[in-house]
Chains A and B, each alone.
Chain A
Amino acid sequence: MGDEPIIELRGVGAHRGGFQILREVSFGLAEGATTVFMGGAGSGKSSLLKAAAGIVVPDEGAVLFRGKDLAKMSRAEELEFHRRSGFVFQDAALWANQSLFDNLALPLRLHEHGLSAAEVARAVARVAELVGYSDELKARPSELSTGERRLIGLARALVLDPELLLMDEPAAYLDETSAERVFEIIASLGARRRSVAIVSGSSDIAHRFADSLGVLKAGRLLAFGSYAEAVRWDDPAIRVVTGRLRARKAPVSGDAALSAWADALTGSLGDGAPSAAAPAPARPPDAEARERGKAAAPPEPTDSGGSDQGGRAADTDEEGR
């Protein structure tokens, strides 16, 4: 696969409800890296993540998964993309008329036809355990607290052990213990070289996990680069968002137990699932992460600010959709 980004946005623009929610957004997510997008409320962070997940269809530009335009995918390719990617919604977005078990089992039933009912049940139980949910899975989402719903939402995104995980404010509404659990999972995904994109207003999350960082304002990607570069960005419009970022002293590390669990889960999904049988490589040290980040990194933002400084040239796909 080389340096090809796992997901790439090229000149993406989108409207909703008469407003432009994304403007000429271009960047690429490096394989196996964790990228954090920051920005104020209404800056287009969630829309960007949804465009990358194929949920929001752009009016301009293109979204590419391993070089293939989502808009030009066949139904089978589209299904494969959704099998290999997971999305964690800010408000959980669980299906209210289905039990928690069915919420977790639906992706398995949809994508893993070879699994028996018992295997589905086992995979569901494992993923619920992973996120730290131990209560009855027969309940409906409305019977859960917001935090519990978010954990189940995370479990649903993880149930197929995706290569690409897109997370919208993963720690919002969670108590400290649950948030720490989520952070361990993110670290574990990073250790297993899963690609993760996180949207968050928290500089703490960026500090802990970001190999690369993007800053959004009014639907425009103001800056995109490695974490080390982000710490040095001095454009005032960007510093408003990244001002609390600080240089790292030590690399973050994954949780071995979680990695072992995830390998077991992957094993239960059979041959069709992305391979995770290989030993989990250690989280690359900061220097290595920086190297990876640079593969998709843009030029350093200048003081002019405001313009699109995405990592890749605004290679707009004029065909639109």
Chain B
Amino acid sequence: MTLGLWLERIGRTLRERLYGLFYGLGYFFNVLKESILFFKRRQVGFRVLVMQILFTGYEALRISAVLALAIGVAINLIGSSLLAGFGQGKLMYTLLIIVITRELGPLLTAFIVIARSGTAIATELGGMVVAHEIEAYVAVGVNPITYLAAPRVLGVVISMMVLTVYFNVFGLFGSFAVMQLLKPVAFQEYMKNLVEVLTVGDLLLGLVKSLVFGVIISVVSTYRGFAVERSTTEVPVAGIRAVGTSFILCIVADAALTAVLYLG
């Protein structure tokens, strides 16, 4: 292959990547705008929003509770043996707040939502594209972003925030439960110690993270779903890509937000 052909290929790939990037950014801002204006629009999918909250939030409560309890137990078991060795048993509460409220709560909740709702959204929308249902919406004058993407974004964001709070509560409760086995503490004292080390910043950071993760998961999943073109074999691929991209972006965003807090 000649140098000219190589250069042409590199140029074409670069152009396609740049086009994809700007297209993705355009999609992101369009979805964000429609989500913000959701309740002002006449042709809005309230039913889609309610169903999304039910599926992403309500139906994920059980798995979220189990995971949070297990994490709370694990942190308590590891922390109590490790910190006691340094005579810093009291730091257990700080550790719980940092790990559960700031870090693992939002991140693990995001993972649950990616695995359940990210794949579901991408494959559902992908299936609708293949069945020409999206085109049918356009044909009657329905904006698919307003009607299909915006309620899903709002549903996932609301669910993410509620699930994160729920995860925190169950994580801290799991820790309390295991304490009753190792070194019993009165519930009031446990809560008092937690509240002493808990700051508004901890709560806010957890909520900001859950909001950012919710936006990432929903926008990526709807984008991947709409990106399906014609074949049913593209639908599962869209689901897989939605999961992969969401995981990476959530982890990167988590690191960036944590860095802003600690270095800023």
Q: Does A239 have its Cβ within 8 Å of any Cβ on chain B?
A: no
* Assembly CA distance A104 to B172 (angstroms): 51
Q: Does B140 have its Cβ within 8 Å of any Cβ on chain A?
A: yes
A17 touches B229 (CB 8 A): yes
**How many whole Å from A201's CB to the nearest CB in chain B?**
19
B140 touches A82 (CB 8 A): yes
Evaluate whether A107 and B133 lie within 8 angstroms (CB atoms) in the complex, with A16-B229, A17-B229 already known: no
* Assembly CA distance A16 to B129 (angstroms): 14
A54 touches B138 (CB 8 A): yes
Contact with B along A50-75 (1 / 0, CB 8 A): 10011100000000000000000000
Tally of contact residues, B, Cβ under 8 A: 16
A95 touches B138 (CB 8 A): no
Q: Does A110 have its Cβ within 8 Å of any Cβ on chain B?
A: yes
Q: Which of A83-91, A263-271, A305-313 contacts B (4 or more CB under 8 A)?
A: A83-91
Evaluate whether A110 and B132 lie within 8 angstroms (CB atoms) in the complex, with A16-B229, A17-B229, A17-B230 already known: no
Q: Does A45 have its Cβ within 8 Å of any Cβ on chain B?
A: no
Q: Which residues of A contact B43 (CB under 8 A)?
A: 110
Q: Which residues of B contact A54 (CB under 8 A)?
A: 138-139
Q: Does B74 have its Cβ within 8 Å of any Cβ on chain A?
A: no
A50 touches B135 (CB 8 A): yes
Q: Does A79 have its Cβ within 8 Å of any Cβ on chain B?
A: yes
Q: Which residues of B contact A125 (CB under 8 A)?
A: none
Q: Which residues of A contact B137 (CB under 8 A)?
A: 95
Q: Which residues of B contact A286 (CB under 8 A)?
A: none
A89 touches B141 (CB 8 A): no
Instruction: Decide if the interface of chain A is mainly helix, strand, loop or mixed.
Output: mixed
B131 touches A93 (CB 8 A): yes
Q: Does A111 have its Cβ within 8 Å of any Cβ on chain B?
A: yes
* Assembly CA distance A86 to B139 (angstroms): 7
A79 touches B139 (CB 8 A): no
Q: Does B136 have its Cβ within 8 Å of any Cβ on chain A?
A: yes
Specify the chain A residue showing the minimal Cβ separation from B42. A113
CB contacts between A and B, total, < 8 Å: 55
Q: Which of B140, B229, B230 contacts A106 (CB 8 A)?
A: B140
Evaluate whether A82 and B141 lie within 8 angstroms (CB atoms) in the complex, with A16-B229, A17-B229 already known: yes
Q: Which of A79, A85, A94, A110 contacts B136 (CB 8 A)?
A: A94
Tally of contact residues, A, Cβ under 8 A: 27
A91 touches B132 (CB 8 A): yes
Specify the chain B residue showing the minimal Cβ separation from A54. B138
Q: Which of B42, B128, B131, B138 contacts A55 (CB 8 A)?
A: B138
Evaluate whether A89 and B135 lie within 8 angstroms (CB atoms) in the complex, with A17-B229, A17-B230, A110-B43 already known: yes
**How many whole Å from A161's CB to the nearest CB in chain B?**
14
B141 touches A111 (CB 8 A): yes
* Assembly CA distance A79 to B142 (angstroms): 8
**How many whole Å from B196's CB to the nearest CB in chain A?**
50
Q: Which residues of A contact B132 (CB under 8 A)?
A: 89, 91, 93
* Assembly CA distance A86 to B141 (angstroms): 10
Q: Which of B133, B135, B142 contacts A96 (CB 8 A)?
A: B133
Q: Which residues of A contact B142 (CB under 8 A)?
A: 106, 110
B140 touches A89 (CB 8 A): no
* Assembly CA distance A93 to B230 (angstroms): 13
* Assembly CA distance A44 to B128 (angstroms): 22
Evaluate whether A110 and B141 lie within 8 angstroms (CB atoms) in the complex, with A17-B229, A17-B230 already known: yes
B140 touches A107 (CB 8 A): yes
A89 touches B136 (CB 8 A): yes
**How many whole Å from B240's CB to the nearest CB in chain A?**
19
Interface positions of B (Cβ within 8 A of A): 42-43, 128, 131-133, 135-142, 229-230
5 interchain residue pairs of minimum CB distance: A82-B141, A93-B132, A87-B139, A93-B136, A107-B140
**What are 6 A-B residue pairs whose CB atoms fall within 8 Å in the complex?**
A83-B141, A91-B131, A93-B132, A107-B141, A110-B43, A157-B139
Interface positions of A (Cβ within 8 A of B): 16-17, 50, 53-55, 78-79, 81-83, 85-87, 89, 91, 93-96, 106-107, 110-111, 113, 156-157
